[in-house]
Amino acid sequence: MIEPLAAVVLIVSALFISIALLGLLGRGDRIRLSASRVAMVGFASFGAFCFWREVQLRQSAGPVYYELAASPGPHRLILFKPGLSPGYRVQLVRRADRTFDKDLSAQLSPCQWRVLKCEKLALTRHTFDADGVMEFDSEYSDVVLEYDATPEVRSLLEGTAIAVRCPAAFEKPMENGQASLNRWMAFFLSGLVLAGLGVSVQRRKLRAAGLTGPKVQPPPPPAAM
């Protein structure tokens, strides 16, 4: 079943294609020229919107890396939700090569990593699981990761970073969304080219008919002395 928004886009796109074909195949007319230009703007706007959404989906894949403060004491680190992700997948990685090591969370367990959030009238606490992953959905655009650095783990913290990406369950829908947006962009680009041809043809026909602009009146003859 087609979503309402997609149905509206299809209807408007069909209208733009009809306008472009009229401009391409119809007789020269200033109204058709203007309508073809509107179709160009419409296809360009739809294509730009799809490109923007595709960029957001690519940003959702991440990862985004955060450096950790290692000085002894409590610390708070703000983590931002990547792109259109419905939540967070937080992992500890080696700072040098940014590779994931599930043993890092066990070695840094004295830091007591936690994310506390109050959402939908419920207070939840998230910590790293046995695989060294902290994953949860959230409507918030950012959350706060809290940890306590101790002198015993300071050297290990200095070589550790935080990686944030979308939850694993969102990866397949994200790939499908990117593929769909790429198809839409190709469609809108084709429509833009068609509308551009309509504008070009209309301008050529109007120029041939002498209707491209207001007629220029010849200057009056000089008055007789």
Digit-coded pLDDT (tens) for 38-56: 999 999 999 999 999 988 8
Average pLDDT of span 132-161? 91
The reply to whether 158 and 182 lie within a common domain is: no
**Residue 77 included in any domain:** yes
* Closest by Cα among 50, 29, 84, 54 to 201: 29
CA distance 22 to 221: 43
pLDDT higher than threshold 90 for residue 65: yes
**Residue 219 included in any domain:** no
**Residue 220 included in any domain:** no
What pLDDT does residue 183 have?
92
Is residue 13 within 8 Å of 191, Cβ to Cβ?
A: yes
What pLDDT does residue 109 have?
87
Tally the domains of the chain. Answer: 2
**Residue 129 included in any domain:** yes
What pLDDT does residue 76 have?
94
The reply to whether 55 and 72 lie within a common domain is: no
Q: Cα 3 to chain center, whole Å?
A: 20
What pLDDT does residue 78 have?
94
CA distance 189 to 44: 7
What pLDDT does residue 104 have?
86
**Using alpha carbons only, how large is the chain's radius of gyration in Å?**
29
CA distance 133 to 78: 17
How crowded is the C-beta side of 48, counted as CA atoms within 13 Å?
6
Average pLDDT of span 5-26? 89
Where does the pLDDT of residue 74 fall: very low under 50, low under 70, confident under 90, or very high at 90 and above? very high
pLDDT higher than threshold 90 for residue 147: yes
Q: What is the helix (H) or strand (E) element at residue 163, kind and residue range? A: strand 160-165
Domain extent at residue 36: 4-59+175-209
pLDDT tens track for 171-185: 888 889 889 999 999
The dihedrals phi and psi of 40, each to the nearest 5 degrees, come to: -60, -45
The reply to whether 160 and 72 lie within a common domain is: yes
The reply to whether 113 and 78 lie within a common domain is: yes
**Residue 217 included in any domain:** no
The reply to whether 54 and 99 lie within a common domain is: no
The reply to whether 83 and 153 lie within a common domain is: yes
The reply to whether 74 and 159 lie within a common domain is: yes
The reply to whether 76 and 128 lie within a common domain is: yes
pLDDT higher than threshold 60 for residue 224: no
The reply to whether 93 and 141 lie within a common domain is: yes
The reply to whether 87 and 160 lie within a common domain is: yes
pLDDT tens track for 182-201: 999 999 999 999 999 999 99
Average pLDDT of span 13-22? 92
**Residue 223 included in any domain:** no
**Residue 16 included in any domain:** yes
The reply to whether 12 and 77 lie within a common domain is: no
Average pLDDT, the chain: 87
pLDDT higher than threshold 70 for residue 221: no
Where does the pLDDT of residue 1 fall: very low under 50, low under 70, confident under 90, or very high at 90 and above? very low
Helix, strand, coil fractions of the chain, as percent rounded to 5: 50, 25, 30
pLDDT higher than threshold 60 for residue 213: no
Is residue 87 within 8 Å of 170, Cβ to Cβ?
A: yes
**Residue 218 included in any domain:** no
The reply to whether 151 and 72 lie within a common domain is: yes
